[in-house]
């Protein structure tokens, strides 16, 4: 079934790559980035844990509907919504992140269009997060795409799907040069981009090869 395309993820709290990246967030920004990771994992769970695609679509539709609403109309009692409601950015633009996860529900092998939708949704989400930490539209699309593709490839349930993700990243030119230098408030994304590029180029899981940790630390300290 389509939702079996990717294997289950633990919460981001157990992901060493994300924890390394978060270590370089400013203390004031870390809760915001944690909320974005939590949202991404909530959407991932909707796709991966549903017994039928229609159930996943219904769960994703709930989030899409929230982002189409004014945040003042959001239902009370959902802690993650309460965290997102505090962002000083246009949270309605998080809708494409939902669309990107829904693209994975298609039947058959993962295709380029679904992979691109997944990547663009994540790039948009990081653009919103960048605005929320005072960086305008300062989140480089290429860095967010690197992370999205590496994370997707690492959790594909078939080697063929994982290879297709890496091929899309290569065709988009993301592996040809190092990610750009990022300002201090976006150092978390910079670490993610550095780790993701190494993963996509090698075909190894994120933060699993020799030198990966040091590359992440160097990027966290220097920005590239």
CATH architecture under which domain 15-222 falls: Orthogonal Bundle (1.10)
| Predicted pLDDT at 193 | 93
**CA end-to-end distance (rounded Å), the chain:** 40
Give 6's DSSP letter: B
Helices (H), 79-140: 79-85, 95-102, 112-132
| Predicted pLDDT at 138 | 55
| Predicted pLDDT at 5 | 46
Instruction: Report the predicted TM-score, pTM, of the whole model to 2 decimal places.
Output: 0.90
Q: Residue 98: name the closest of 143, 39, 144, 168 by CA.
A: 39
Q: What is the pLDDT of residues 168-209, one digit of tens each?
A: 999 999 998 777 888 889 999 999 999 999 999 999 999 888
Percentage of the chain surpassing pLDDT 70? 92
Q: What is the pLDDT of residues 16-71, one digit of tens each?
A: 999 999 999 999 999 999 999 999 999 999 998 877 889 999 999 999 999 999 99
Percentage of the chain surpassing pLDDT 90? 72
Mean pLDDT of 152-178: 92
Alpha-carbon torsion 187, 192, 195, 201, what sign? Answer: negative
Q: CA 99 to CA 60: how far, in whole Å?
A: 8
For residues 133 and 30, the answer to whether their CB atoms sit within 8 Å is no
| Predicted pLDDT at 50 | 72
């Amino acid at each position: 079934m389509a939702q079996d395309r990717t294997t289950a993820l633990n919460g981001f709290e157990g992901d060493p790559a994300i924890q390394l990246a978060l270590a370089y967030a400013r203390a004031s920004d870390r809760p915001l980035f944690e909320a974005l990771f939590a949202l991404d994992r909530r959407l991932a769970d909707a796709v991966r844990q549903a017994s039928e695609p229609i159930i996943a679509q219904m769960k994703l539709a709930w989030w899409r509907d929230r982002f189409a609403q004014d945040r003042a109309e959001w239902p009370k009692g959902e802690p993650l919504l309460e965290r997102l409601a505090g962002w000083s950015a246009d949270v309605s633009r998080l809708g494409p992140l939902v669309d990107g996860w829904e693209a994975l529900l298609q039947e058959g092998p993962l295709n380029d269009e679904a992979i691109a939708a997944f990547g663009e949704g994540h790039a948009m989400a990081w653009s919103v997060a960048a605005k929320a930490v005072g960086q305008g539209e300062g989140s480089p699309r290429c860095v967010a795409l690197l992370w999205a593709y590496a994370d997707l490839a690492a959790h594909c349930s078939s080697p063929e799907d994982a290879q297709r993700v890496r091929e899309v990243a290569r065709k988009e030119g993301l592996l040809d040069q190092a990610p750009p230098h990022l300002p201090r408030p976006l150092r978390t994304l910079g670490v993610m981009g550095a780790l993701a590029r190494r993963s996509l180029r090698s075909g190894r899981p994120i933060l699993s090869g020799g030198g990966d940790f040091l590359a992440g630390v160097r990027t966290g300290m220097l920005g590239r």
